[in-house]
């Protein structure tokens, strides 16, 4: 089922306003959610809206809370998200980091007490659209065992790296788990094995069976011990800089996951280089990748498919899950 982008944006705006967000904030939050679906990131667009609405209703997410600056030193600032709406807090933080980068060449905002930022790539595209390099990450609830253990103690801590480019930004948006639980469920429901090992089964053996990993709750970090280590240090840096919670302090239930810590860094390469210099470098790298031998046509740069998907979804409507779409429409009709 497809709906026009403007209908999706409107329905989300109405639903968020009805749930308690001030009009301008509802409009921005709805746009960010609609943009994720428009760009093909369905798992982190409309599909997450019902949970956001439920968390606002439950008071886990405070609809009225605005982020507050709690410390600053030159090019780095610390903000308290006050358990407000995650995508609005994150968007605000990257906006401040971009401002700081305009002044200082580089800017960093650490955000404590925030909520799920939904699509992480949002803030990468935001930076790239502003013409700056963006680097950000979030911690999460404990959803992966650290290497050497069986119980979830570390987060899949998604990281985003964005590089602005006239012919299409390069935006990496990836969690540190090899497969999300959503991806595991997808493979399971299609009856497919994972393309590569994705976790341990209950006997502690590596497996490509998605159901076995769902049963063991032992999905793999990327790179086995390496992603485990990366998750640990990103959690430390986010908690230290924001003076916020670390993964081990965050509730394990996704329905009450709150008080996350995030870091947003923006770097203005334009403060060092002539206009067009960065584009020439990125274009040459892309060209080199595209000329790879063998399955060369399959080599893509991060974010490459986004613009084509965006164009298609703007032309033909944005694919929506009917039940989530109905939920949002119904919420928007309450008063």
Gap between the Cα atoms of 333 and 183, Å rounded: 32
Question: Which segment (25-33, 44-52, 68-76, 181-189) binds a second copy by CB under 8 A?
Answer: 68-76
Chain positions 179 to 238 lying near a second copy, rule: CB under 8 A, are: 196-197, 206, 222-224, 226-227, 229-230, 232-237
Cα distance between residue 143 and residue 152, in whole Å: 5
Range 83-142, binding a second copy (CB under 8 A)? 103-108, 110, 133, 135
**Candidates 17-25, 28-36, 86-94, 284-292 — which segment interacts with a second copy by CB under 8 A?**
284-292
Q: Which is nearer to a second copy, 85 or 160 (CB)?
A: 160
Residue 303 or 332: the one with the smaller Cβ distance to a second copy is 303
Tokens 């509802």, located at residue: 26
Q: Is 80 in the site for a second copy (CB under 8 A)?
A: no
Contact pick of 66, 174, 211, 251 for a second copy (by CB under 8 A): 174
E strands, the chain, are 2-3, 68-73, 76-80, 106-114, 133-138, 159-163, 170-174, 199-200, 206-207, 260-267, 318-319
Of the candidates 243, 251, 321, 327, which one interacts with a second copy according to CB under 8 A?
A: 243
Are the C-beta atoms of 113 and 244 separated by less than 8 Å? yes
Tell the smallest beta-carbon distance from residue 177 to a second copy (Å): 9
Name the nearest CA neighbour of 164 among 276, 76, 243, 67: 276
Choice among 9, 44, 116, 324 that is catalytic? 44
- Asked if residue 242 lies in contact with residue 263, where contact means CB atoms within 8 angstroms, the answer is yes
- Residue holding tokens 């602005």? 164
| Listed ranges 24-32, 297-305, 311-319, 326-334: which one lies at the site for a second copy (CB under 8 A) | 297-305
């Amino acid at each position: 089922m497809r709906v026009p982008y403007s209908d999706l944006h409107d329905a989300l705006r109405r639903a968020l306003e009805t749930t308690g967000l001030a009009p301008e904030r509802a409009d921005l939050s709805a746009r960010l959610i609609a943009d994720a679906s428009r760009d093909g990131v369905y798992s982190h667009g409309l599909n997450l809206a019902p949970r956001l609405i439920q968390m606002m209703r439950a008071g886990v997410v405070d609809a009225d809370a605005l982020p507050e600056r709690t410390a600053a030193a030159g090019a780095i600032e610390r903000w308290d998200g006050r358990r407000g709406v995650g995508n609005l807090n994150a968007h605000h933080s990257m906006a401040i980091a971009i401002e700081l980068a305009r002044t200082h060449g580089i800017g960093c905002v650490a955000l404590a007490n925030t909520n799920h930022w939904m699509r992480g790539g949002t803030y990468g595209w935001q930076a790239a659209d502003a013409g700056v390099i963006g680097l950000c990450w979030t911690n999460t609830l404990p959803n992966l065992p650290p290497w050497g253990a069986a119980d979830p103690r570390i987060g899949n801590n998604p990281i985003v790296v964005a590089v602005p480019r006239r012919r299409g930004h390069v935006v990496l948006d990836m969690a540190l788990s090899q497969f999300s639980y959503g991806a595991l469920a997808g493979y399971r429901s299609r009856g497919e094995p994972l393309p590569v090992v994705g976790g341990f089964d209950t006997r502690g053996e590596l497996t490509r069976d998605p159901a076995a990993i769902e049963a063991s709750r032992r999905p793999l970090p990327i790179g086995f011990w390496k992603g485990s280590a990366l998750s640990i240090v990103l959690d430390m840096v986010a908690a230290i800089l924001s003076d916020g919670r670390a993964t081990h302090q965050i509730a394990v239930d996704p329905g009450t996951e709150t008080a996350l810590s995030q870091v947003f860094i923006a770097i203005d390469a334009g403060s060092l280089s002539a206009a067009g210099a960065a584009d020439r470098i990125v274009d040459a790298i892309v060209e080199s990748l595209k000329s790879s031998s063998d399955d060369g046509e399959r080599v893509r740069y991060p974010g490459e498919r986004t613009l084509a998907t965006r164009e298609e979804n703007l032309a033909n409507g944005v694919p929506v899950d009917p039940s989530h779409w109905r939920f949002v429409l119904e919420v928007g009709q309450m008063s």
